[in-house]
Each structure stands twice: as C-alpha cells, then as structure tokens.
Amino acid sequence: MKGRFLVAVLNVIALVVLVPLGAAGQTTPRTPWGDPDLQGTYTNKTTTPLQRPEDLANREFLTEEEVANRERTALDRNEQLLLAAARRTTVGGNVGAYNNFWLDGGTRPTGRTSLIFDPPSGRLPALTPEAERMRTDARRARAEADTWEDLELNDRCMIWQAGPPMLPSAYNNNFMFLQTPDYVAIQVEMIHDTRIIPLDGRSHLPSNVRQWNGDMRGHWEGDTLVIETTNLPRIEANAAAVGGDPILLRAANGRSDDTVTVIERITRVDVDTLNYEFTIEDPTTWTTPFSGEFPMRRLAADELLYEYACHEGNYSMEGILGGERVLEKAAASGGQ
C-alpha cells in the first residue's frame, strides 16, 4: 500500500507543468494553485566552509575583492590540477582517493566567511559533556572494522547529504524541486534520495518511528517554505557515524529519545536563486541551537542531475573488511 502511494505521488509530481515566470514586477512566481514556485534544478556548491576559519575571527562577510580573489584561486587550482602530469603511485604507498577531475565542490564563495551565521562566531556551539563522551567513544570504536556494521553509512552507500540539512559536499551537489498542492518533492543527486514533504498539516509520526532522513512536515509562511524534521535515527556510540555529515547529526548522542529538530526555510529570491536557511536544535548534544544560510543557484542549461550509482556491497566495503582480515592474520602470526 505504501509503495503504491509513493508511486502515485511521484506520478502526480512528474505531471506538474512548470509555470512560466510571471510578468515583470512580480517578485515571486506562482504555481497554478497559488503557492510560491520553487520548481527547478539547483546547486548548493560553494567554497564557503561550514565553520568560520579561526583566522577570520569575528568577520561575518568577505569583501568583494576577497570573493573575487578566492574564486580566481579556485579556478586557477582546478586548471593546474587538470594540466598536471600523471603520477604513479608508489608500491605500498597511499593510493589516495578521487583526483580533482571527479570533484565538484564549486569555485564561488557565498560572500560569508562561513555557512553558520548563528552563533555570531560562525562556529558550531560547544558540545555538552555527554556528547563529548559519546563522540570520543565513537572515534575509539571506529578504529577496527570487524563487520559491515562497523562501517560508516557512506562506506555502505546508504546516505550522505540528502538532508536535512542539505549541506554542500565534494560533488553531486544538485537538487531538483517539484511541487503539487499537497507535497514538495526534492530529488537529491547524492545517493539519489527523494525527500517527500507533505503540506497538508498532518502530525509527525510517533517518536519511536525513525527514518534516515527524518520525518518531514512542511508549511508556507508567506513566500517561504518551512520544513520541520524530527524522528532522525540515533546511532549508538559503538556503531559508525553517517559519513559526509560534517556535524554528525544522525550520530548526535546515541540516545533513543527524540531530541533533534531541524528547521529549513527555503525562499525564491530571484529567477535563478533560492535562499536556503537551516536551524538545528538538540539540547542533549549542543549547548545552544545553531543556524546557517547559503544560496542555491539554478543549474546552467548544460548542467544535469546525474544518477549516483553507489550501492551497498561496493568494492570499498569489501576492500576495507578484507584488509582488516589481512591485518588480523599478520598480528596473529607475529607479523610473519
């Protein structure tokens, strides 16, 4: 029943015809049923870091010259790496990861010195003592890979940056927004998740029903789509965190009670730009809530949303577990 319902929702969404932008002077284009029209394919890639670098202290914004210089530096670095000669990996050395060709974190800063703007320091608030202990225990537990359960969820290709919040990553930073009167759907390029957000005022699921992307409920406040997410699953301290999640939201504290709330606010500010803002509150993990903001820019005509063909059982998981078994055999034989 649930599968047929989801297919029906996606079929309805697929039939929605994008409405042409309104006449000059209309600040927010509308859907046929009157809601602000967020539809389109956007990217959130940016070189602005999540947290403000300490050398920028209390500076919230870059100057126009600094923005231009940083973008030029990123473009020059990409060109240098593209033209650089290939290097052979030394036997027994670090084989590294993807080279720069595969990465697409963008070249443009947002103009801020960090995505986080509250607290005013531009940095994550302090962890509670309990959260500090849980993070320490989790790092110790990550030292060995005894089974697939010890591997991060991104090693297993389960989830990355689908959100919430929808933070920039190293690549696959594209999102397709689709709407009906009762739902907003956000197709996420990374790990090909689709966020289905009901707008009909229904209550959240019971707190013991957990979903990887949380239980999402949306409503309109003026021209802004507000999404409240609860019921994010927690991961015990001896299990792996969610890879690609720089704030470790889904491994926040290892508790079974429901303490995390994520609020997202999405507003179309012009033809090609959505403003995306998020606030995270979890009193068992951070001493205060924190908020961030960045633009999501419409993709150019020659840019596409691609399938991310990562899957559980991939070679990295097999290699990690196989390598751990080799190390165990070597240790058992005294390194012989």
pLDDT, residue 13, reads: 40
Tokens for 145? 């890979």
User: 64 vs 68, 71, 275, CA distance in Å?
Assistant: 6, 11, 20
DSSP letter at 50 equals S
Least Cα distance to 164 among 220, 229, 107, 106 occurs for 229
Instruction: Give the pLDDT band (50/70/90) at residue 290.
Output: very high
Separation CA 233–CA 280 (nearest Å): 15
What are the start-end ranges of the E strands in 51-104? none
What are the tens digits of pLDDT across the range 142-172?
556 788 777 766 777 777 667 789 999 888 8
User: 206 vs 147, 163, 215, CA distance in Å?
Assistant: 31, 20, 10
**CB 217, CB 202: distance < 8 Å:** yes
**CB 102, CB 171: distance < 8 Å:** yes
Please give the span between the terminal C-alpha atoms of the chain, in angstroms, as a whole number.
Answer: 58
Segment 30-54 shows an average pLDDT of: 96
What are the tens digits of pLDDT across the range 246-264?
676 654 434 556 678 999 9
pLDDT, residue 138, reads: 62
What are the tens digits of pLDDT across the range 198-248?
999 999 999 888 887 889 999 999 999 999 999 887 654 434 444 445 676
Residue of 88 and 267 predicted with greater confidence: 267
Residue 58 has pLDDT above 90, yes or no: no
- Collect contacts of 306-313 with beta carbons under 8 A, ≥24 apart: 306/172, 306/174, 306/189, 307/192, 308/172, 308/189, 308/190, 308/191, 308/192, 310/157, 310/191, 311/157, 312/156, 312/157, 312/158
What are the tens digits of pLDDT across the range 307-331?
888 776 677 778 888 888 998 899 8
Separation CA 188–CA 44 (nearest Å): 11
* Chain Cα centroid distance, residue 259: 20
Residue 2 has pLDDT above 50, yes or no: no
Query: Phi and psi for 114 in degrees, rounded to 5?
Result: -160, 155
pLDDT, residue 312, reads: 67
Least Cα distance to 181 among 41, 71, 292, 37 occurs for 37
What are the tens digits of pLDDT across the range 99-139?
888 888 899 999 999 999 999 999 999 988 988 887 776 66
- Residue 263's DSSP bridge partners are 228, 279
